[in-house]
Amino acid sequence: MSGNGSRPPKFPLGLDKVTPTKRTSASAATLRPQRPLQEAAAEAQRRSAPTGVGLDSAGVRARMVTRLRADGLRCEPVLEALGRVPRHLFVDSALVVQAYEDTSLPIGLGQTISKPSVVGRMIELMYASPAVRARGHLGRVLEIGTGCGYQAALLSELSTRVVSIERLKPLHDKARDLLAPLRRDNLRLVYGDGRLGHAPAAPYDCIIAAAGGDDLPQAWLDQLAIGGRLVAPMLAGRGQVLMVVDRHESDWVRHVHEAVHFVPLKSGVA
């Protein structure tokens, strides 16, 4: 399906909805009464908030990659990036034991770090673009919705330049702090309204959105380069799907993919 050459089409459009996961709280564990309370509390904290023991191992990430491959993710560059980026660094300490499970986790302010399978699938869809296959990398990328910065870190592994925009100042600041130790020179974080994109660095070879609403912002279409590809969750019928939009010389062509569940894209900054 395509729009006309003079007016880009407006499509109905959607961070992952948090799926509660069953977790045993260390605070609920029985504390032996004969032990000093301070010592017992310290042990409970160590149990509930591991500090990376074992999680820094490449083997832990490799096992996650093996599971994702078995579940259908096939793009090797994406799988390799997932194997390199330490997801546990982007997860709150109380949830770090779930960092390499295929689950979304809360990061505050009603937002989540998306499932590795969802992140991988969206980037895989960008890699399936003929232009990306010809280049061998994503090129210049605009990410809408930085969140905690995990997806931005993955994109920076696969792109020449990444601009990631976040409307929530506390999340923008959090992502900046979490990404700083990784020293990603090709990654720029912007605090601003994602619906407006980021025109100063346009055009982009790829645009990926971690949120969406009822329409596809005109700014995104305008900032997508000819030959570029946009991947975003969009409203279609009674649910959301992953929508791929390719820009050609005279029109925009969209393709519908699997169902997803993201929270809505909002205007403005906060």
Q: Render 56-78 in DSSP notation, one character per residue.
A: T-HHHHHHHHHHHHHTT---HHH
Q: Is 244 helix (H, G, I), strand (E, B) or coil?
A: strand
Query: Dihedral of CA 156/242/224/138: which sign?
Result: positive
Beta bridge partners of 190: 165
Query: Dihedral of CA 165/170/174/176: which sign?
Result: positive
Instruction: Compute the chain's Rg from CA coordinates.
Output: 20
Phi/psi zone of residue 245: left (φ > 0), alpha (ψ -120 to 50 degrees), beta? beta
Non-local (6+) Cβ contacts of 123 within 8 A are: 75, 78, 81, 138, 151, 154, 155, 158, 208
Report d(CA 240, CA 51) in Å as an integer: 36
Q: Is 83 helix (H, G, I), strand (E, B) or coil?
A: helix
Non-local (6+) Cβ contacts of 75 within 8 A are: 120, 123, 124, 127, 128
Report the catalytic residues: 114
Q: What distances in angstroms separate CA 260 from CA 5, 68, 150, one per listed residue?
A: 29, 17, 19
